[in-house]
Amino acid sequence: MARVLITSAIPYINGIKHLGNLVGSQLPADLYARYMRGRGHEVMFLCATDEHGTPAELAAAKTGEPVDVYCARMHGVQKELSDGFALSFDKFGRSSSPQNHVLTQHFAGRLADAGLIGEVSEKQVYSHADGRFLPDRYIEGTCPNCGYEKARGDQCENCTKQLDPTDLIDPRSAISGSTDLEVRETKHLYLKQSQMRGKLEAWIDSKTDWPILTTSIAKKWLNDGDGLQDRGITRDLHWGVPVKKGDADWPGMEGKVFYVWFDAPIEYIAAAREWADEQGLDDSAWERWWRTDRGADDVRYVQFMGKDNVPFHTLSFPATIMGSGEDWKLVDYIKSFNYLNYQGGQFSTSQGRGVFMDQALEILPADYWRWWLLSHAPESGDAEFTWENFQMSVNKDLADVLGNFVSRVTKFCRSKFGEEVPAGGELGPMETALIDDLTARIARYQDHMEAIEVRKAAAELRAIWVAGNEYLQSAAPWAAFKEDPARAAVTVRLSLNLVRLYAILSAPFIPEASATMLAAMKTEATDWPDDIAGALQTLPAGHAFEVPEMLFRKITDEEREDWQARFAGVRS
């Protein structure tokens, strides 16, 4: 039995996430976690809400709540939605947790002692009306290049030109709209990533099994332009982890907090500590996952994220870990994803364009979404959500293939043999051929799951469902029953065992339907099938079952058209 540590990119606190966010990290991470648990491995699956930074403060201001109250409420909302999608986190923590404060300050102290943090004087825009320094993106004005009146201080969204706040014509605060701005000098701490370039490059080069997407992005940031740059790790904000060296004050850094991209990845570690504290366990319980000098040397650590997060997880966070000089676990494999687009354009949180997690669960159960998203995961390139494709996939894969198989065999058995597995007959050539076919297909399915090839695994799982349907259709127990009831009994007995087998194999993708199938078969025997022939005899003759409710219903054309219109514009 192996030990597997799994983390998915930490979602930001300001708002409900759309389906593109979900499939870019949390959902495939859950797929892998469920699979690895199903194979008998010990798994620690961690995530959290990312709660610091200016966007959190602004979102709280819009609701009229104190920022800590807003973050606590939104953490609850995001946790409820993750539960709704059956995401099986061992801990869904918070980057604002006391554990993360302590660990972030600890790492900063270690990096400072190693000479990897330096003070840099900068000039930043200060808003008198807001009483604060403004990050570049919270300064608006007219673009000097194209004349767009809502250009940001870092980039014009209209012409994409990179900008500095001082380039803008008639700059104003995006928070208050005030033009009472001035440029002031302030000091910030920088992580000297450039000094870590050699170590980081050697480490990345050693990861020969990483996806091309992950490696190419990491090397681009290492080598483009002037190479890896030092990065600011503090901000002039009120909400965040106060700047300290361990538990000691940091002279000259009073009133400042650590930058969100410094403290957020450290929350991966802190989440495990939160878990241990909640369980009343001592430090060894979480350190065995994260400290290689305390048991984590045999852990396989896998991260899941969208491609926009790759630079921070291949460079900045590893620089923090390596630079500490301590024996922390580094990631072994990073599974990165491209973007999921929506109906010919992009999902947009600001415009409410696309389907968001809460809306998805209001119209259909989680398994419908899980299946489509995972079977269309944006691995080799960007993927496209369309309502037509969603309808077709649900109706054909879930309703017509899996759902139809379960319904046909259970209802037929009830009508001819009663609600128990029938006795009689022996396996014949058709059953032997099916077992051989399934043995080969399940081996391929396992290989894809081990390699985290999500779409290939989904395709193979569907083919496994299809094989059962084709067998049932060819064996035709409804016809055989008239002449040879024992022959029909063999087919039905094998097919009822197939329902159980499908429940186990499908659980990582569609856990709720899997639980329904197992409950209908009245079994708790969920061992992963190493011997397919044996697995198809697990439910013996006389074993009771019940006909389950319809596993999946079809989506009508009217529903599809309604949803397509409803989710095209701005959500209220």
The verdict on whether residue 71 carries a ligand-binding annotation is no
Contacts 24+ apart (CB under 8 A), 490-494: 490/424, 490/425, 490/426, 490/427, 490/428, 490/431, 492/409, 492/412, 492/413, 492/416, 492/417, 492/421, 492/422, 493/421, 493/422, 493/423, 493/425, 493/539, 493/541, 494/427, 494/431, 494/434, 494/536
* CA–CA separation, 519 and 524 (whole Å): 8
* CA–CA separation, 137 and 54 (whole Å): 10
Here the tokens at position 314 are 């291949």
495 close to 404: Cβ distance less than 8 angstroms: no
- The structure tokens 């982890």 sit at 241
53 close to 260: Cβ distance less than 8 angstroms: yes
Do β-strands 3-8 and 42-49 pair in parallel, antiparallel, or remain unpaired? Answer: parallel
The verdict on whether residue 160 carries a ligand-binding annotation is no
Give the torsion through C-alpha atoms of 518, 521, 526, 529, to 10 deg. -120
- Phi/psi at 210 (5° precision): -65, 150
* CA–CA separation, 492 and 306 (whole Å): 44
* CA–CA separation, 549 and 545 (whole Å): 13
The 3-state secondary structure of 25-45 reads CHHHHHHHHHHHHHCCCEEEE
50 close to 267: Cβ distance less than 8 angstroms: yes
The verdict on whether residue 516 carries a ligand-binding annotation is no
SS3 447: helix
Do β-strands 139-142 and 151-152 pair in parallel, antiparallel, or remain unpaired? Answer: antiparallel
The verdict on whether residue 146 carries a ligand-binding annotation is yes
Question: Binding site: what residues are annotated?
Answer: 143, 146, 156, 159, 349
Question: Binding site for ATP: what residues are annotated?
Answer: 349
Question: Binding site for Zn(2+): what residues are annotated?
Answer: 143, 146, 156, 159
